[in-house]
Amino acid sequence: MRHTKIIEVLQSDSLGESYQIKGWVRAFRSNRFIILNDGSTINNLQCVVDYENTDKGILSKITIGAALSITGILKESQGAGQRVEIEVTDLEVLGEANPDEVKKTILSPKRHSLEKLREQAHLRVRTNTFGAVMRVRSKLSFAIHQYFQQKDFHYVNTPIITGSDAEGAGEMFSVTDFDFNNLPKTEEGKVDFKKDFFGKHTNLTVSGQLEAETYALGLGLVYTFGPTFRAENSNTTRHLAEFWMVEPEMAFYDLEDNMDLAEDFIKYVINYVLENCEDDLKFLEQRLTKVESQKPKNERSSMSLIEKLKFTTAKSFKRISYTEAIEILKNSKPNKKKKFNYIIEDWGADLQSEHERFLVEKHFKRPVIVYDYPSKIKAFYMRENEDGKTVRAMDILFPGIGEIVGGSQREERYEVLKQKMENLNIDEKELWWYLDTRKFGTCTHSGFGLGFERLVQFATGMTNIRDVIPYPRTPGHADF
């Protein structure tokens, strides 16, 4: 008999029917009640053993963490807390788990800190919290692909190894096959990258945007969804050295089209998890409520997790220019009373998370899109406005998190783009191929980027970005 997922058994009305299930023991009570979970749902299935007629040797092996195969009859549960249960007719221990060893791990049935769970990241997915987070992450990933595929976007795989720095930030991981004990040197004593594997200095990508742009200018609508890397030595709850980015690029889209698409996209994927992750979201909401209750009252969120998700999809996003945003922030109470950590004084200031959250949570009480930022605080590839001071950039701001999406209309004019690169000392020889696209049928085009882990954080209520990716890569940590 082919085994059935526990989520299907729990939803079944076929009382009296025989099922085979496989999973891991979460608890075993009174030598009779096995609590089993197989990862298909946050909900466990109770399996009732006739312990008087079951081999004592087998019963002794039913321990927390053990893998079992159980065959039994679906019955209406006599106990509270579950609608149905399995009356066991056959039981096989597939993989034992030594109780003494289990006690040393996070599988032991007691509360563990998130820090402890990170130390055993290979086991943390067996906990309720991380099982729920990773199922939501999986559904979000599927929803992203489904959204773009339904809109006839083409999925493009951009390079992970690259010779260019898309952001001009310089915080990149180098890629080499050099023997570090015997580095080839030039006559000037510098490392001779001409003798490296690729014949030049290469890095792990920080973004697939530039390559995606070139494909949009041939396929029309494209998107990337892949790993990106940042060698930024930031040991915070918001930064990872390895993370995933969603980056659509669209030919013939201006900034308005870009904002329309980004808003529609983000509402779609959030609605998808609201509709398809109900049990996991309810559990994560309860967890978040406990976390929030331990904070000072003035720091607690006014919304529950599910309320926050519905809040982002219920209304159209408010759209304001950067100039309008600065005026609102300058005249706000927190700014006048110097409650902000970063006081807004002049036009041109880079908005911080506290400013972005004020606009969303206090002032407009809805997600906000800020557009037309000062060119000095934005990247070289963003289209310059006629005022010569601002660029056609846009950021989407969310409650509790601040910026979640950043994008722009791209600079399509060859001479303007070339001049901007020159002003920022960006080597034209490195990006000759990017400039080429402005010489052969250039056109208005736009795109945006969404850090996938930030989205998962928002959808799950997890406060540390290290807890929404299976194996976090951070300064000093590349375990597992």
Domain ranges of the chain: 6-105, 128-171+206-467
Instruction: Work out the average pLDDT over 168-191.
Output: 90
pLDDT tens for residues 256-267?
A: 999 999 999 999
Identify the DSSP state of 228: E
Position 42 scores a pLDDT of 97
pLDDT bucket at 300, cuts 50 / 70 / 90 = confident
The answer to whether residue 1 scores a pLDDT higher than 90 is no
Instruction: Work out the average pLDDT over 241-262.
Output: 98
CATH number listed for the domain at residues 128-171+206-467:
3.30.930.10
Instruction: Work out the average pLDDT over 98-109.
Output: 95
HEC profile for 44-85? Answer: CEEEECCHHHCCHHHHHCCCCCCEEEEEEEEEECCCCCCCEE
Percentage, residues of the chain above pLDDT 70: 99
Whole-angstrom Cα distance, residue 65 to residue 371?
A: 51
Contact criterion met (CB below 8 Å) for 372 and 323:
yes
Contact criterion met (CB below 8 Å) for 9 and 70:
no
The answer to whether residue 269 scores a pLDDT higher than 90 is yes
pLDDT bucket at 167, cuts 50 / 70 / 90 = low
CATH architecture group of domain 6-105? Beta Barrel (2.40)
Instruction: Work out the average pLDDT over 370-383.
Output: 96
pLDDT tens for residues 151-161?
A: 999 999 999 99
pLDDT tens for residues 421-441?
A: 999 988 888 899 999 999 999
Position 163 scores a pLDDT of 86
What rounded mean pLDDT belongs to the chain? 95
Position 104 scores a pLDDT of 95
Position 9 scores a pLDDT of 97
Neighbours of 413 (CB within 10 A): 13
User: Residue 53, by phi and psi: left (phi above 0), alpha (psi -120 to 50) or beta?
Assistant: alpha
| Tokens, residue 130 | 């991380």
Contact criterion met (CB below 8 Å) for 400 and 291:
no
pLDDT bucket at 143, cuts 50 / 70 / 90 = very high
User: Residue 33, by phi and psi: left (phi above 0), alpha (psi -120 to 50) or beta?
Assistant: beta
Strand partners for 186: none
